[in-house]
Amino acid sequence: MTSAPSSPAPVVPASLPSASTPDAPQPASSRTDLETALGDLSRHRAVWVALDPGQRAHLLGRLIDTFSAVGERWERAVREAEGIAEGEPVSGEEWLSGPYMVLRNLRLLQSSLEDIAAGRAPAIPGPVRTRPDGQVTAQVFPASLWDRMFFPGVYADVWMEPGVTARQLAENQAAIYRRKRGEDLGPGVDAGRLALVLGAGNVSAIGPTDVLYKLFVEDAVVLYKVHPVNEYLGPLFEEGFAPLVAEGFLRIVYGGAEEGDFLCRHPLVDEIHITGSGATVEAIAFGTGDEGAARKRERRPRIDKPITSELGNVSPLIVVPGPWSPRDLAYQAENIVSSLTNNAGFNCNATRVLVQHAGWDRRQRLLDAVREVLTRARRRRAFYPGAADRFARFRAAHPELETYGRAPRGDGEDSDLPWGLVPDVDPARAADPCFTTEAFCGLFSETALEAETPADFLDRAVDFANDTLWGTLNVTLVVHPASLRDPETRAALDRAVANLRYGTVSINHWAAVGFALMTTPWGAFPGHDLYDVGSGQGVVHNALMFDRPQKAVLRSPFIAFPKPPWFVTHRTSYPLSQALADFERKPSLLKLPRIFWNALRG
């Protein structure tokens, strides 16, 4: 695989601190430090609530500057921790899944707060429509001319929960700020709350964007406990969040399960947000062991606090049969493999089950193309704990598991797992771990459904995804434009989008794009509670501050040009992703040539 050229000059100005990796690990915060942090935050709740939208928009502008200053060191620290060399085809990941996402989130929240400060709801950039069944959708992407340039042909709608009308849509945005204006909205979350954010250990932008959501959309001051896996980023996050830390609106602490349990049960903590696993949420809410199981069964949680969460998915990628050419097969193989191998497979939205039509004449050809890309993809350091054990359990359940991947650096070190594929899993085996358990490593499966027509296949695939696969977070469908010339297939796709019970439904692009856009809400399909937590409760990102979103729906070209920078085969991913992060810092026409030059060479 061809290596990318050396990256251009850093995106941060030369006057800012030079790149350096913070010391690791960070010591766990003492009880005294935790109590002090909670006390400081509690005393500043009223001050935070009193800040008007204009003052908050100004704060977000300062955060753009401070996070820009740590961007290069942040990206480098994660690459070093995950064993990725600068210039590798996958090396741009850490710009995209770290500084880029946070800077985009900050910029979009700032725009929304400027709208609110001017006395209006956050501006919806596209049309608002009412579907034949009465459900309202709002197009939130592209949000600017820049979005149209960088994501050509990509559109995203937010579908509201039934009952929200087009006329009422502005009244279903930014409830916190409408309450501040004195509107009588009925019962709601009390202002001036203290939220505990338990950060994720996989994607480095998750913790900071969760913090921003609690602060600027839900009006809570935040105690952020950095996950032990990426606690080395904590000092950089403290720099990035310096304006909020200095004002007493945010504190960052460290530690593991013991510190987390102490904080969850502390009386000053009003609410909890976690990105992680359902088992962790159940341990927080009910405790562990027999006592925890009894509490859950008897519906007696040990913590009487709201708990919002994002907890993963056995994410399906549904392939609609069609007249695919060899070029189509090769491109979609890269698309599929990228959706598994990104971040070494440690993504809640990674493709876990490839769902195909059993009678499609190109089914095996697509699988062979996937195998070829997996063979060329370099193995990655298994940086997230427990990955080898999870991989081994799947291998034990499926001895036919196929392994792929180039050995990294030729040293074959034990921490680098192969990529795994379990083909032809029987879809009737509903209890198969491939369908019930999120692998959370570089492993996925393939299954095939019998169906008479592509339309029939789509209907059956929706039922299979909704009723057999665990989770409701995200789903991807891939459909050739020629297939949609058939009215029955086109109608079946429309039904599929409406009937899939997932928080994000994406056509042709990997659904993780919905995570990155920030204008779309990210979270499980509504309806879970503590006793059936599934993929979690609540949403994050959601920069337009919709109060009652149901799902995000993305539509993209079957083949994107230029090649998306997250593709595992992208040759200029590093300089392109770095340039995109710099653009989010401060959009400018002068930055476009660098972006397009690197995009076209990918």
Pairing type for strands 474-478 and 419-425 reads unpaired
Q: Is residue 303 part of a domain?
A: no
* pLDDT at residue 7 greater than cutoff 90: no
CATH number at residue 412: 3.40.309.10
Contact between 193 and 249 (Cβ < 8 Å): no
* pLDDT at residue 412 greater than cutoff 60: no
**Radius of gyration for the alpha carbons in the chain, expressed in angstroms and rounded:** 23
> Residue 63 has what pLDDT?
98
343-374: pLDDT as tens digits? 999 999 999 999 999 999 999 999 999 999 99
Q: Is residue 474 part of a domain?
A: yes
Structural domain boundaries enclosing 494 = 315-501
* pLDDT at residue 190 greater than cutoff 70: no
Would you put residue 186 in left (φ > 0), alpha (ψ -120 to 50) or beta? Answer: left
CA angle 104, 108, 113 (to 5 degrees): 145
* 492 CA to centre of own chain: 27
How many other C-beta atoms are found inside a 10 Å radius of the C-beta of residue 539? 22
CA-CA distance, 13 to 11, in Å (whole number)?
7
Q: Is residue 250 part of a domain?
A: no
How many other C-beta atoms are found inside a 10 Å radius of the C-beta of residue 520? 28
> Residue 187 has what pLDDT?
62
* pLDDT at residue 508 greater than cutoff 70: yes
Contact between 116 and 177 (Cβ < 8 Å): yes
* pLDDT at residue 5 greater than cutoff 50: no
Instruction: Please tell me what DSSP assigns to residue 485.
Output: G
* pLDDT at residue 14 greater than cutoff 80: no
415: pLDDT confidence band, cut at 50, 70 and 90?
A: low
Q: Decide: helix, strand or coil at residue 273.
A: strand
CA-CA distance, 459 to 386, in Å (whole number)?
36
455-467: pLDDT as tens digits? 999 999 999 999 9
Q: Is residue 325 part of a domain?
A: yes
CA-CA distance, 239 to 3, in Å (whole number)?
33
* pLDDT at residue 123 greater than cutoff 50: yes
> Residue 191 has what pLDDT?
64
Q: Where are the beta strands (DSSP E) in 278-379?
A: 307-310, 315-319, 351-357
Q: Taking residues 541-562, what's their average pLDDT?
A: 98
H/E element holding 523? strand 521-523
CA-CA distance, 283 to 265, in Å (whole number)?
12
Q: Taking residues 378-394, what's their average pLDDT?
A: 95
Q: Is residue 560 part of a domain?
A: no
Specify the number of domains making up the chain. 1
Q: How far are the Cα atoms of 135, 274, 354, 455, 495 from residue 166, in angstroms, in the given order?
A: 9, 32, 36, 31, 21
Q: Taking residues 472-500, what's their average pLDDT?
A: 98
**Residue 7 identity (one-letter amino acid):** S
Q: Which of 536, 549, 560, 462 is nearest to 157 (CA)?
A: 549
State the maximum Cα–Cα separation within the chain, in Å, rounded to a whole number.
66
34-63: pLDDT as tens digits? 999 999 999 999 999 999 999 999 999 999
Q: Is residue 522 part of a domain?
A: no
6: pLDDT confidence band, cut at 50, 70 and 90?
A: very low
Q: Tell me which residue has tokens 């050396």.
A: 6
> Residue 416 has what pLDDT?
82
497-506: pLDDT as tens digits? 999 999 999 9
Contact between 123 and 41 (Cβ < 8 Å): no
186: pLDDT confidence band, cut at 50, 70 and 90?
A: low
Q: Decide: helix, strand or coil at residue 303.
A: coil
> Residue 16 has what pLDDT?
28
297-322: pLDDT as tens digits? 999 999 999 999 999 999 999 999 99
The phi and psi torsions of 109 (rounded to 5 degrees) equal -65, -40
Nearest 10 degrees: Cα torsion 300, 302, 306, 311: -90
Q: Decide: helix, strand or coil at residue 507.
A: strand
Q: Is residue 398 part of a domain?
A: yes
Q: Taking residues 62-72, what's their average pLDDT?
A: 98
Tokens at residue 254, please? 């460290």
Q: Which of 100, 156, 206, 128 is nearest to 508 (CA)?
A: 156
pTM value is 0.94
CA-CA distance, 94 to 90, in Å (whole number)?
9
408: pLDDT confidence band, cut at 50, 70 and 90?
A: low
Q: Is residue 470 part of a domain?
A: yes
Pairing type for strands 315-319 and 474-478 reads parallel
pLDDT averaged over every residue in the chain: 93
Contact between 465 and 309 (Cβ < 8 Å): no
91: pLDDT confidence band, cut at 50, 70 and 90?
A: confident
> Residue 54 has what pLDDT?
97
Nearest 10 degrees: Cα torsion 222, 46, 40, 276: -10
250-262: pLDDT as tens digits? 999 999 999 999 9
